[in-house]
Amino acid sequence: MSEPFKIIICGEGGQGALSVAEILAFAAWLQGKHATATPHFSTEKRGGVSMAYVQISDEPIPFFKFDKADLWVVLSQRSIDRIFSYLQDGTKIIVNSFLVKDVSAIAKWQPHQIDATELAKVELKKPRTFNTIILGAMAALVPGLDRKVFSKALDKHFGTKYAKDAALKALNEKAFDLGYDLMK
Amino acid sequence: MYGYPITPSSEVMHFWAKEACSEQGKKDNLVFLQAEDEISAGFMLLGGILAGTRSFTATAGPGHVLMQDGFSMAEAMRLPIVGYIMMRGGPSTSTVIYSQSETNLTCFGGNGNGYRVVYSVATIQELYDYGIKVFNTAWRYRFPTFLLGDGYLGKTMGEVDIYSPEERGIKMVPTEAYLLEKIRTVPLSDVVPSPNLDSRVVDGVSYDCLRNCLNMEEEALAVNAETKEAWDLAAPNLVEHETAGDPKAPLLVVAHGSVAASAKAALEVLAGRKIKARLFRPITLRPFPEEALRQAAQGAERIFVVESAVNQLSRFVKESLYGRCSAPIVDHFRPSIGIVPNEIAGLVEKNAK
Amino acid sequence: MTLLPDNSKAKLAFPKCVRMESKPHLYCPGCGHPEVLKALGFAVDEMGIQQRVAFGIDIGCSLLAWDFFNLDTVETHHGRTIPTMVGFQRANPQSVAIAYVGDGGAYAIGVGGLINAAIRNDNILVIVVNNAVYAMTGGQEAPTTLPGTRVATAPCGADDHYMRAPEMIRNVNPTAFVARGITTIQVQLRKLLKDGLKHVMDNKGFAFIEVLSQCPLNWHTMEKPQETFDYLEKVLAKAYPVKTY
């Protein structure tokens, strides 16, 4: 049985780590893969640590949690300590360098440092789309994922928001592409 | 459904609330109310059952503690409530994430020797499958029935086959009201323990008085004896378990719920390391599959009990195997924390001899 | 239980819906509950709803009414009768759901259920028999015990706080049927109960009737009926006005 591709993402409550995880899992499923996304958080909606486990595989996922990740993503400084133990040789890393300034602890993994918040502000005029940029970058690093399914996956997640603000859809997809293309 | 918000079970309530206030939901007479607290929710649930509807709730953690007030009344009066329990950290508020530490509470949370059916599910597909089954078990056998899950299961997004009972040939067991039932096919006296029921017929109409407060010790004994008799009849039909791995493997892992899913994956890891292990997974924790476990324990050189709790599953295991099995039991207790397949594989490997 | 001849109900002026097999009742001599129950029975008779009533009772002296009537009855846990009947009535909207409870169950342990049912305007009739004490369990202080009264858990005198419930219910629900009656005025009591029943039967929502009642046992006036009724009508009724709100 082949191992699933394992992704862990960690941020502060409210940063959208769980949304990113869900969209990623859903996109993989749209493509016909097996996927799970399992969140971990302290208090429900705001004010604590927020992280998620995502697994993507061509075979059914045996168990939601894992101990070592293939792709490791942090959105806030203290997330580094929080999920440090999930690193192994060869883990790929993405950090949102807007908040994560000190990467000395993870230097040997040569993290991709993306200032997603700054990019979102400057290129898209909407800082809130920073996590879609991160999502795009992550998607590029998951083997076997087709970028084309993400439009539909983003639609499912943000459908109600798009209905209120039509411009958001194009903006979001631009954010995704921005992140994705940074990795190529 | 009557419920109260508590992570990680609230989604069940959100979904039901949406269904109940939709066009179709109104046509289907779906009832929903968010109660002021879990105590009230538990008793509203009893009211729904007394009215003869398939009533259920979902809860976790401290809310689950509060629900025991209502659940224990259901035990005394044989009211077929259904509860979805999504275990989280404990004791007290702890985490909203996960544990298996409400096993005792789900199985034995009432005051005084009540009987309840408990199904411990291992996958999100089983949340669906047993989510249907619990209602049929409850109304057929008239015991409070629980679907025991955990925060991982409750919060995981993944693939589930959705189907209607008819598609799979599942016939839903019909319900009958305890109060104001017009057409009664199952006499209340067949269900409610006799000290708790006083029915009189006037002009062809039966008036049924139900209580749970008793006067004499003998009455309390009788309630337990009658309930036990019904339980002993039902249990063989209810008990469920699952095994995995080579039946001749000398190393036996016992786990329930999502830890069993992890253990199953661990068997693969161990096979890769040329270590022969197998799994016994109780599905019903009440009634506990004692006989099946005793069978499975035969030929085991070592038994590993793995749970995200302290001695809750293990106590059932030891109770079943007492005097029947000489294999040493290795407990692996990890209260309130997930157990990944590698951890279980490492445990077995380290203790293989 | 003593079996009485067929026309005994009429001879004894019992409501038709009482269960003779449970008579004589188990209440203390001089207790107010049988008077409230009698008024309720007549109200049920007159409205012809014997087969529609779901009668919920609490743990406390109300539990002695569990087989008082030929009405489908359920005894719940202490303080939980109101949410049980709320849950019942929402699942069976054609029923006439009654919660018959004491002041302890309704105003202390059960007050959360009471207030929220009132706020939601739930379609049930709540009857609270208020004797200003936890009677069945031996005379402990209740939220309605008047200041200075010596009771089992306030042997040096109850505190200055007490609860006027109908007034509070009226405050949180402007359209509920809200009234306070008293065991010593039977005709008015029966009318209040009928009005309360009609309110819920017409689907108008919450109906709340508190009935001031006597407890000679816990008031320590068993041998002194004059004192019992003086306390009820002159002291309690002064603190808790008998009126419709």
HSE-CB for B90 with a 13 A CA cutoff: 23
Q: How close, in Å, is residue B114 to chain A by CA atoms?
A: 34
Q: Do B97 and A35 touch (CB under 8 A)?
A: no
Report yes or no on chains B and A touching (3+ CB pairs under 8 A): yes
Q: Do B262 and A63 touch (CB under 8 A)?
A: yes
Q: Which residue in the set B73, B178, B205 is minimally distant from C76, CB to CB?
A: B73
Which pLDDT belongs to residue A48?
Answer: 78
Which pLDDT belongs to residue C10?
Answer: 63
Concatenating the DSSP letter of every residue in C191-214 gives HHHHHHHHHHHTT---EEEEEE--
The CATH classification of domain A5-183, taken from the options 3.40.50.460, 3.40.50.720, 3.40.190.10, 3.40.920.10: 3.40.920.10
Tens of pLDDT along chain A (184 residues) come to 578 999 999 999 888 999 999 999 999 999 999 999 999 877 656 667 899 999 999 999 999 999 999 999 999 999 999 999 999 999 999 999 999 999 999 999 999 999 999 999 999 998 889 999 999 999 999 999 999 999 999 999 999 888 998 899 999 999 999 999 999 8
- Domain range spanning residue C229? 27-239
C226 domain-assigned: yes
Q: What does the domain layout of chain A look like in residue ranges?
A: 5-183
pLDDT digits (tens, 9 = 90+) for C57-83: 999 999 999 999 999 999 999 999 999
Concatenating the DSSP letter of every residue in B272-339 gives HTT--EEEEEESEEES--HHHHHHHHTT-SEEEEEESSSSSHHHHHHHHHTTT--S-EEEEE-TTS--
Low-confidence ranges of chain C (pLDDT < 50): 1
* SS3 at position B24: helix
pLDDT digits (tens, 9 = 90+) for A76-129: 999 999 999 999 999 999 999 999 999 999 999 999 999 999 999 999 998 889
Task: Look at residues A125, A121, A101 and name the one whose alpha carbon lies nearest to residue A111.
Answer: A101
Measured CA to CA, the distance from residue C145 to residue C147 in angstroms comes to 7
pLDDT digits (tens, 9 = 90+) for B239-249: 999 999 999 99
Q: Is C218 left (phi over 0), alpha (psi -120 to 50) or beta?
A: alpha
Domains defined along chain B, listed by start: 2-168 (3.40.50.970), 242-350 (3.40.50.920)
Which pLDDT belongs to residue A46?
Answer: 64
Tokens for C85, please give them.
């009947």
Task: Look at residues B50, B47, B57 and name the one whose alpha carbon lies nearest to residue B10.
Answer: B57
Q: B189 falls in which pLDDT band (50, 70, 90)?
A: very high
Q: Are the beta carbons of B96 and B8 closer than 8 angstroms?
A: yes
Measured CA to CA, the distance from residue B70 to residue B40 in angstroms comes to 8
Would you say residue B264 has pLDDT above 90? yes
Residue type, B170: I
Q: Which residue in the set A25, A43, A65 is minimally distant from B157, CB to CB?
A: A25
Report yes or no on chains C and B touching (3+ CB pairs under 8 A): yes
The domain tally of chain C equals 1
Provide the pairing of β-strand A5-12 with A71-74. Answer: parallel
Write the CATH number for C64.
Answer: 3.40.50.970
* SS3 at position C19: coil
C168 domain-assigned: yes
Which pLDDT belongs to residue A49?
Answer: 81
Task: Look at residues C32, C29, C15, C27 and name the one whose alpha carbon lies nearest to residue C69.
Answer: C15
Q: Does A43 touch chain B (CB under 8 A)?
A: yes
Strand extents, DSSP E, chain C: 53-57, 72-75, 96-102, 125-130, 177-182, 207-212
What was the ipTM of the complex prediction? 0.93
Please count the other Cβ atoms lying within 10 Å of the Cβ belonging to residue B174.
11
Question: Which class for B219: exposed (0-12), middle (13-18), buried (19 or more C-beta within 10 A)?
Answer: middle
C16 domain-assigned: no
Q: Does C91 touch chain B (CB under 8 A)?
A: yes
Q: How close, in Å, is residue B33 to chain C by CA atoms?
A: 8
Q: Mean pLDDT, chain B, as a whole number?
A: 97
